[in-house]
Structure 1
Amino acid sequence: MTYLWSYQQLHDLLQHPAADIRGWAATGLCTLYPRQAAAALDPLLLSGDDARIRPALAFLRRRPDVGDTERLRRLFLEGGETVSQEALEVAVTRQPSAVVPWLKEKIAAGERLGAAQVDAMISALGRVGSQDSYALLKATEQGVKQRSMAFFERYYSALLAHRKASDLDTLLGIACAEEEPEKLRIAALAVLFWQINPGLRAADVFFANSTWVNRRLGDDATRLAAIAPAGAAATIDRITEILKNLKAETAAEHGPQIAALVPTPAADSDWHALIAQQAAAFPTRPEQSQDTRYAQAVLVLAATLAGLEPNTSALEDPAGDWRATLTAVLQSRPVDVAADPGWRSLLTRVDRDQLVTALEALAGDPASPLGQMNAVMALGRLRAVSAVPVLIKAWERQPAKDLEEVLELALKSMGPGVVPALLAVLGSCRSELRPLLLSVCGVYPTPEVVQAVLEHLDECYRLNPERALRVLARIGAEAFVPFLEREVRPGERTLEAAYVRLCRLNGRESERLREAERDLKRLEKIEAAAAATSYRDLHQLPTFLTLKLICKRCDKSYQYRVGSVHLHPPAPEPLKQRYHDDLTPFRQGLVIGDSLCCKNCGARDEFSLSEESLAEVTGQAMRMVLLKRAKAKIPAGYPLQHVSYQERDGKPLSLLEIEQELLERVGTAPTQPQAHLALAKFYEYVKMPGEAKKSYLMALDLDKAALEAMAGLARLAEIETHYREAYEWCQRCLENLTTGHVYLVESFDDFKKALRDKRHEYARRAGIKPEPEPVPIRFRIEAAGYAKNRPCPCGSGKKYKLCCMGKDGRPTEVNP
């Protein structure tokens, strides 16, 4: 296979002054030319340059047959935080027994350790199944308990990896101790459930969310009933029956039934049975809450079900039906094909083509999502390129996010041989899948791959801009530079980074490039300042959010700086589910207060949220809730605000409820202008200008003198920067002030004042000299009682003698 970049070109780029280019070159070298990379590994590992060391460590992770442990030891002890962490992670996979002395040496050195290093060291001690590693872990237990929660879950997960009954008791004691903080008890439950059923959320169990928890356990019981041994059927039936009525209030009365289900551990290795036994036997106190008893009951049931799951050791039995066993195992739990001894035994006994055929059948069956994903991953590990059409059809039948992620990993695991197979199906597959397939092809950039990317680039960038930019940056072809020059915008970090990288790789210079480099430095400073911000200090809370928003007109997504976000009450569950996939901001319960203009087409306030921006706002909202619970004062400049638009019976309504109510009002009274005006003002508030305009025009059709409709259309024209049109609507509204109608305005005087102010503003922006506004004079004065040099009471600004003096007091039109 001929690649776009030769070995020599990549080797030369290792000396590039820019760190990201050196890292890119080292990654390409290790991926495209593994034989030469294995021979040149020492210079990369000893370079002292993190940009070159980290790709070399990733290469060692994939190739345990090259390199030596001493190099890893030096990098762990002497490298920076990230390199030290990654070197330890690689060493644990290659020679676990060697790392415990390293850890002791690192601790004895007394240097300050970063969070990533501590995390890696704890994980390593959990993976090394020796008494030394366990003793080292136990020596730090009190320190972990007394410190913050940062390492609690990681530490106790590592401790339980050694499978000691005393550590189970410790965690059960924390989970059931009601004098402990809630956060600590939930963390203890999370560690326990990670051992038996990672799909159960500890917080739901802790707060006795029995509807969700029981349904999840019931689904597991139903799945197991189809694949578990016949002897387990009675236990599964009893668990299913208990789950029908298990709640916090009934947990105590179900206790004896649940205890009777607990199996006796057959051996020390029967971990799930041991968890069930100790959870059932853990002493309860009379004053213990119902929620705690419920959590204890769920632990016992979940551990009992986990003990019934088929084990991969069954694959080692040469006399068994390997197809049935394979199906049961894949549908039960995640399987590591590369490391599992059962799998290795199966591969030595079964014909590879037969195994691939069986896995293809499972990969195409969406009835068991876990079995399907395990089969897809197994085909990737086996490098079964012939299965590519089957995998693609499986995704097209049910395009789930989880399956998409597993599919990408599986295709990349197949190596460079997968590229021709992917290029062959690229034109016939669904367009939503093309960004993923091109992402896999981009790992092995050939001229054919570059041509395929160019053919589908516009479409892929529209569907998934982040993935498309990663493909361009990974390949580095000069042919992509014109596209990036067309799309790059200030403030778009990913776009600018890809553009700068491709220009540097291909030796291009321009003023546009220098502008992008300056903007990147500015954005890096902002990000560094944000990363250094301590959210414990309220004065350091952000004053703006950077949100990725998608324009509804041109479908392009960019980053926008937002200074005001209104958070509204959540919608009832049925309404929430109906609009679950609609990322229009107000349908997700929020309104962006800023008026934003699309960086591409110029459309104003016509955006939908990206998943990333929704997650960012949700995270900030949770932080806000926590601060309020702590009775901390939220700074005035914080961009999030809790807002209530309308109430019913003293209870604030969600935006979806308000919309539904207003639409029902329009449906029942379609001839009433006020119904359409109320809906229009709502849509104007939630930034739906198209819908607001329709409702304002409908109100105007029903009442030609509806002043609020004219004023609303003027505001919408302003949003579109059509200032002449906005001025004309204002002028029309002013002309109808004395004869027009208002329906929802609370203060007519304020309405008139705002209207006149806006009229002058629109006239100025449109470059129009406003026409004089006629004002009828409705006064009568006696000439003898008013000084002739005083300002005329008609408001013209002239002296009385030069204006209305001598007239008989009839209404006179004057220009103010």
Structure 2
Amino acid sequence: MPSGIWSQSELMNLAGHRVPRVRRWACERLETLYGKSGQEVLGKLLKDPADEVLLEALRFLESYPDQKFSDLVLEAYETRTGDVAGGCALMLGKLKDERLIPRYEMKKRKRPIDVGERIWVIVSLGELGTDSARRILRPLLSDIKEDTDPYIIEVLIGALLKAKEDMAALLEPYSRLYRERGMEILYPLIAACGSWHNLEDLKIEGKKKFLGKGLPPAVEECLAFLKGRNYSALAGDLQQAFAKGDYRRVVETAGRWARESMGENKTGGAGVKEDGSLERGIPPWINLEVLKAFMNYLENGPEDSFKWIAVATLAILEKFVEFKCLWNLKGEEVDPKDLFPLLFEDRDSHPLDELFIRRVISLFEPAAVFVRCLQQLKEHPESYGTKRAVRLLGELKDPAALPHLLPLLEREEIGDLKQESIQAMVQIGPPLVDYLEKGFPRLGEDQLLQLLFALRDIPEEKTVHFLIAHWDKLWSIDKEAFLGALEGIGSRQFIDPLRNELREGEEMDEEIFYLLCHLHGVRDPLLPSIEESLAERKKRKDQRLEGLQRNDLTALRQNTATVELKCRRCAKSYSYEIEKILVQEKKGQPLIGDKIVCKNCRAINQYEITAKGHLAITGHLLLATALMEKENFSPGPGPVHVGKLGLVDGRSMSREQAEEYYRKEVQKAPQDPGLRVGYGNVLINQGKEEEAVRQYKEALKLDPLAVEAYASLGEYEADKGNFPGAYEYFRDAAERMNTGHYYRSKEVDQVKEAIFLNLEHFAEMLGKPGPKPPAAPLSQGIIKQEKIGRNAPCPCGSGKKYKKCCLSKEEGRQPEKTSATPVELGLRDQLLAFSGNEKYKKDFEKAYAVYYRKPFREPLVIREGEEDRFQIFLDWFLHDFKREKGLTLIEEFFQSKKETLTPEERSLLQYEISSHLSLYEVLQVTPEVGLRLKDLFTAEELDTREVRGSRTLTKWDLILARVIRAGQVNKFSGIITLLSRRNKEGILASVGQAWEKFKKETGRTGWSDFAKIKGEIIHHLVEDQPRVEPVLVTEEHHPVVSAKAIFQAKNPDPLRFRLQKEFDFILDSEEEGKEMVWTWLKRGESKDWEAGKEMEQSIIFKSEMIRGSGELRWTSLGTVTWTPGRLELWCLSRERLARGKRRLREIMGDDIRHLADTFEDLKKLTKKMPQEDSPFRDNKNRERYLPFYSKAMEDWMIHWVDEKIPALDGKTPREAMMTPEGRKRVEELLKDFENAEERKRRDGEPYIDIQYLKQKLNL
């Protein structure tokens, strides 16, 4: 019909637009508005490169077939693939173009044909119906197996039926597979006979037994139909046969009755002939043919295969009876007085009806036809013939029919009555709009919904004004239908109001806006972003389609459910991405767990699920079921769950019941802030936001430390768009986060993290102070740091360490400080030269063998790293090794040189001769001066002048050294051996035991005697000490080991989405398409662990993630890393790995597949890794990390005195202090701590002042 807005030429021009979406729209509008006269546009659109445009052009051509376009369709078929190629093939079949067959064979030889295209080719060959087509289709019957997809079976048999294949051949697969695929094979025959029963109606054997047999409900319905058409005797015979299970008799009775009722069999072609007589291929002719084929099947078919044949017979007989009145009619010769009765008979539509309608219009006056149609509507409103009366009213185009058509839009569907009514109104055209404007207040929502489909095809200015005038009302009734009307009309006047409606995530709104802008050349700034969104959606859609073509249902899975919800406050519908939907095991509304904030009016949780929303939820459930049943696939948690209601105080309650429960509880105990918070939570979920706010504020009056109330009010203000108000509430919550009260939260850490993140977000948005960094907790002087450490970056900016830059320069400006005088240094050089005399060579070799405990071999090679040990050996060789005459080398040197030595040199040598080895503990370090030591065997304390040692040693270091007591001055001789404090007890015990043995054997009790005579034994015992290394354990007391699990994980999307939903996983970094890294934290589902048995000499290895200002800390349990196709879980214990694997499987289901586990010793792994410097060596890092480190260490120190320590036999330090032995062990532990911290202090790192712990323990 001609249009007031779009002329045919305008639409023809738009068909050449650069945007494919516009070209497709122009093609569809040309077909709808101008029909066959607009077909010339197909000359260019059938060559269009965009699939969506080509498919629309094919639909246009299907409505108005014309063989002049065959060449273009054939060319498109040769160049396209998939469903698009399939659509071209179907059109070639309908155009009877036999060139399809060789082109198809050629494509098959070049490349594999996908399933979608093959199916459409099968259908097209049926349409073609030639001998060649049947020769291709016929062998496919033998390929049908018990596992063949029912849809493939339906398509193949339907195509052969269309191609007039022999009925006996079509029943051959049934004779083979009637047990597995019986009704699937018969169904195409039943459908071709006009039956409306679906496959399940015919196939399923319900719980209710019919006639004592397990037969489908369709049997009962067919028998009831026959009785209703006055064929009770026939129905009775058939019912009796079914009751006895005599299925042969059912088929024979039905077939014989059909043949006898029609007289002699007559043959024909297919369809309706020019004279209006029936041809072979349509009901009731085909019904009779199929019934005859069933009767012939009884002669040779297996007896136990007759049951499904009998069920199919009844369905086919039902339609035969329905169309029996049309048997042997010639439409052009029907008496005019019989036209109305034939047309309005209570039966389904039939190809002859088009001819009857044309004759009625041409033979009768419009007024007479109008009256007769109204009479049908009034007297037979439930008849299937009424929809043909409506069709006639549409052909009359009389506006007087509108008052009679509108009520039909509210009635239950009868056939396609509503669709016929809509089409009739479209034919009436613009008068419909005038009529609606006058009576708009009286129109119901059901009527308005259906009218939108009619208005879509009446593109007039008055239609535009009508839609704009009632925009909000029509939008609220059904947004999708309203947008469809806007799209169909395509007026420029829709652009501005539609732009105001655009909301994030509303795909159809964006698509229509994008189309309208391009239709009218409007360059809106939003178009580029919308175009990107459209491209991304198309990409996702194509991926799902590819998956479907591979028969991969997993490709259809989505992380969220897109559900349409209608706001109860503003009545507008929008789509929301929902993560949590609970479908109750018992009947009831699906419950949405997400908080829903209306995209229009910001109302919270005030919605109802639309019909489209329910359909989406059902779709997700069906897909999950199909995956589990068909694919044997456990998909992991999805957006829709089937389960029970939530628990309130241990009882299962609906939201309504929970609201009533809290209302009563608050009345009983109005002063309970916890009840107020819980009541507010329930109310906000029910969409009663104002009452919820009142409850939260009341909770704060009762308890100003109710953290959850502040956080909930912050969320409420944020949802309402009041960001300053939200900031204030979240700031209040953050200030009370660690001192406040939590009443309803099971996972307090999750609440705290949400508070921190929200405060940070709104602070950044508003330019206000965010979460405060932790103040350095130095109030108790626990954590300290020197201004510039020796290993710190030099302040001059050179990039070098301070000790290798300006420190050495500053020291260079001062006189070099050393413990040795020039005289002492000269004597040492002379002594070394003296020991190198040839006559001492044998002594050297003997001493070497004693000290090293292996024979001496020349040449002497000092390996790299052994230099210090060799120097220690030389010191012992010179001072303690006695030659055959009983003198040491230094004694011989003194005897041979004393006449030439000065008094100072003789004095110094005598001090050295009496020196001996011992084990010392450093009590104090005086920088650039020396050390105070304690001899651990004699308990003597002494001061040493040792400048270099004061720079390298720290308090409580354990050293093996020779001290020269030179009068009032004590100095070290040779090299100092630094020992591990962990070996202290072992060294004291083993050396002490050797000393006791020496006393018994020699009678000498002095330590100096033992150390002088048995110095090499002391060295040996120290060297032989087992290397006491701590056993590294996790905080669950499991041995530390590098443990890795490797999984196959092809698709990163569900992985990213699901892990982000879990509180125990946090995304650390992502490089799109290349890598994603998560940290697995000890919180949420991974919070509780069963600790292992505590081990001796164990040190807990712990890694933490810190949030906010350091108040939020969680143990890191492991790392999850995704790279293309691969997922790795790395943990520090076997136990963590096992738990992590279970956790990942819970979350991801079969989206990941475990491949292997690997385990490696952590020490070996550490050696392979590059050594990283301390983060505190860098000035920037020091400023950044020091407050967090200080806070963490201060917390640890404060709690340490009351923690059970394995080294104290499981007692706390405070408990161990109750006994002398325990006190001694605590003191040793504190020495170990202080020693390590002093080393940090010396290196310029933050360190702990152990004095705090001593004060806590009264030491």
User: Quick one: distance in 1 between partners of 2:396 and 2:62?
Assistant: 18
Contact preservation (8 Å) 1:275, 1:300:
no
Q: Give the Å deviation of 1:56.
A: 5.1
> Superposed, which structure 2 residues align to 1:226-375 within 5 Å?
226=228, 228=229, 232-236=231-235, 253=245, 255=247, 258=250, 261-264=253-256, 265-266=258-259, 267=265, 269=285, 270-271=288-289, 273-274=291-292, 277=295, 293=307, 295=308, 297-311=310-324, 313=326, 316=331, 317-318=334-335, 321-328=338-345, 331-336=346-351, 354-363=368-377, 367-368=381-382, 370-375=384-389
User: Quick one: distance in 1 between partners of 2:61 and 2:200?
Assistant: 39
Q: Give the Å deviation of 1:368.
A: 2.7
Cα deviation digits, residues 321-360 of structure 1 (max 9, x gap): 44433333xx222334676x66666666666654554444
Contact preservation (8 Å) 1:566, 1:640:
yes
Q: Give the Å deviation of 1:631.
A: 7.3
Contact preservation (8 Å) 2:581, 2:640:
yes
Q: Which amino acid aligns with 1:25?
A: A
User: Quick one: distance in 2 between partners of 1:437 and 1:117?
Assistant: 37
Within the candidate set 511, 517, 521, 2:535 is matched to 521
Q: Report the secondary structure of 2:615's partner residue.
A: helix
Contact preservation (8 Å) 2:202, 2:216:
no
Q: Which residue number in structure 2 is paired with residue 424 of structure 1?
A: 435
Cα deviation digits, residues 188-218 of structure 1 (max 9, x gap): 3543442456433323443302659876555
Q: Report the secondary structure of 2:439's partner residue.
A: coil
Contact preservation (8 Å) 1:23, 1:52:
yes
Q: Which residue number in structure 1 is paired with residue 1178 of structure 2?
A: none
Contact preservation (8 Å) 1:490, 1:519:
no
Contact preservation (8 Å) 1:13, 1:22:
yes
Structure 1 440/713 Cα, relative in aligned 2: closer, same or farther at 3 Å? same
Q: Which residue number in structure 2 is paired with residue 165 of structure 1?
A: 167
Q: Which residue number in structure 1 is paired with residue 597 of structure 2?
A: 597
User: Quick one: distance in 2 between partners of 1:51 and 1:761?
Assistant: 45
Give the TM-score, by structure 2 length. Answer: 0.48
Cα deviation digits, residues 85-114 of structure 1 (max 9, x gap): 555555655x5xx33453354335535555
Cα deviation digits, residues 685-731 of structure 1 (max 9, x gap): 89842479979999999x99999xx9997786565347678999999
Question: Does residue 176 of structure 2 align to residue 194 of structure 1?
Answer: no
Q: Give the Å deviation of 1:234.
A: 1.9
Within the candidate set 465, 471, 474, 2:479 is matched to 465
Within the candidate set 565, 568, 571, 1:555 is matched to 571
Structure 1 479/377 Cα, relative in aligned 2: closer, same or farther at 3 Å? same
Question: Does residue 96 of structure 2 align to residue 122 of structure 1?
Answer: no
Question: Does residue 456 of structure 2 align to residue 455 of structure 1?
Answer: no
Question: Does residue 200 of structure 2 align to residue 203 of structure 1?
Answer: yes
Contact preservation (8 Å) 2:93, 2:100:
no
Structure 1 69/378 Cα, relative in aligned 2: closer, same or farther at 3 Å? farther
Structure 1 347/640 Cα, relative in aligned 2: closer, same or farther at 3 Å? same
Structure 1 73/530 Cα, relative in aligned 2: closer, same or farther at 3 Å? closer
- The structure with more radius of gyration: 2
Structure 1 262/397 Cα, relative in aligned 2: closer, same or farther at 3 Å? closer
Question: Does residue 716 of structure 2 align to residue 720 of structure 1?
Answer: yes
Cα deviation digits, residues 437-463 of structure 1 (max 9, x gap): 344344342322322222223222221
Q: Report the secondary structure of 2:563's partner residue.
A: strand
User: Quick one: distance in 1 between partners of 2:645 and 2:375?
Assistant: 53
Q: Give the Å deviation of 1:732.
A: 13
Give the TM-score, by structure 1 length. Answer: 0.70
Contact preservation (8 Å) 1:77, 1:84:
yes
Q: Give the Å deviation of 1:623.
A: 2.7
Aligned-residue RMSD, C-alpha: 5.7
User: Quick one: distance in 2 between partners of 1:678 and 1:234?
Assistant: 72
Structure 1 130/458 Cα, relative in aligned 2: closer, same or farther at 3 Å? same
Cα deviation digits, residues 545-579 of structure 1 (max 9, x gap): 333333333232233333x334445425xxx6xxx
Structure 1 667/363 Cα, relative in aligned 2: closer, same or farther at 3 Å? farther
Q: Give the Å deviation of 1:486.
A: 0.2
Structure 1 352/273 Cα, relative in aligned 2: closer, same or farther at 3 Å? farther
Q: Give the Å deviation of 1:320.
A: 7.5
> Superposed, which structure 2 residues align to 1:454-533 within 5 Å?
454-533=468-547
Cα deviation digits, residues 158-202 of structure 1 (max 9, x gap): 22343743145335436632xx3xxx4453354344245643332
Q: Which runs of 5+ in 1 are unaligned?
A: 577-586, 648-652, 771-780, 791-798, 805-816
Structure 1 164/59 Cα, relative in aligned 2: closer, same or farther at 3 Å? same
Structure 1 403/680 Cα, relative in aligned 2: closer, same or farther at 3 Å? farther
Q: Which amino acid aligns with 1:271?
A: E
Q: Give the Å deviation of 1:620.
A: 2.6
User: Quick one: distance in 1 between partners of 2:74 and 2:610?
Assistant: 43
Q: Give the Å deviation of 1:303.
A: 3.0
Contact preservation (8 Å) 2:203, 2:216:
no
Contact preservation (8 Å) 2:680, 2:691:
no
Q: Report the secondary structure of 2:408's partner residue.
A: helix
User: Quick one: distance in 1 between partners of 2:249 and 2:734?
Assistant: 76
Structure 1 519/219 Cα, relative in aligned 2: closer, same or farther at 3 Å? same
Cα deviation digits, residues 208-234 of structure 1 (max 9, x gap): 0265987655555555545x4x5x232
Cα deviation digits, residues 733-769 of structure 1 (max 9, x gap): 99998xx9x9xx9x9xx69999999999999989999
Contact preservation (8 Å) 1:172, 1:279:
no
Contact preservation (8 Å) 2:433, 2:466:
no
Q: Which amino acid aligns with 2:316?
A: A
Q: Give the Å deviation of 1:498.
A: 1.5
Q: Which residue number in structure 2 is paired with residue 103 of structure 1?
A: 101
Structure 1 173/72 Cα, relative in aligned 2: closer, same or farther at 3 Å? farther
User: Quick one: distance in 2 between partners of 1:41 and 1:597?
Assistant: 47
Structure 1 194/506 Cα, relative in aligned 2: closer, same or farther at 3 Å? same
Contact preservation (8 Å) 1:263, 1:273:
yes
Structure 1 280/379 Cα, relative in aligned 2: closer, same or farther at 3 Å? farther
Higher relative contact order (CA 8 A, sep 6+): 2
User: Quick one: distance in 2 between partners of 1:398 and 1:368?
Assistant: 9
User: Quick one: distance in 2 between partners of 1:88 and 1:763?
Assistant: 61
Q: Which amino acid aligns with 2:619?
A: G
Structure 1 528/157 Cα, relative in aligned 2: closer, same or farther at 3 Å? closer
Q: Which amino acid aligns with 2:167?
A: A
Structure 1 401/483 Cα, relative in aligned 2: closer, same or farther at 3 Å? farther
Contact preservation (8 Å) 2:408, 2:418:
no
Structure 1 83/630 Cα, relative in aligned 2: closer, same or farther at 3 Å? closer
Question: Does residue 434 of structure 2 align to residue 434 of structure 1?
Answer: no
Q: Give the Å deviation of 1:501.
A: 1.9
> Superposed, which structure 2 residues align to 1:133-152 within 5 Å?
133-143=133-143, 148-152=149-153
User: Quick one: distance in 2 between partners of 1:398 and 1:281?
Assistant: 46
Question: Does residue 16 of structure 2 align to residue 15 of structure 1?
Answer: yes
Q: Which amino acid aligns with 2:175?
A: G
Q: Report the secondary structure of 1:559's partner residue.
A: strand
Q: Report the secondary structure of 2:576's partner residue.
A: strand
Q: Which amino acid aligns with 1:445?
A: P
Contact preservation (8 Å) 1:566, 1:641:
yes
Cα deviation digits, residues 609-650 of structure 1 (max 9, x gap): 333333333233223223333573424464444434479xxx
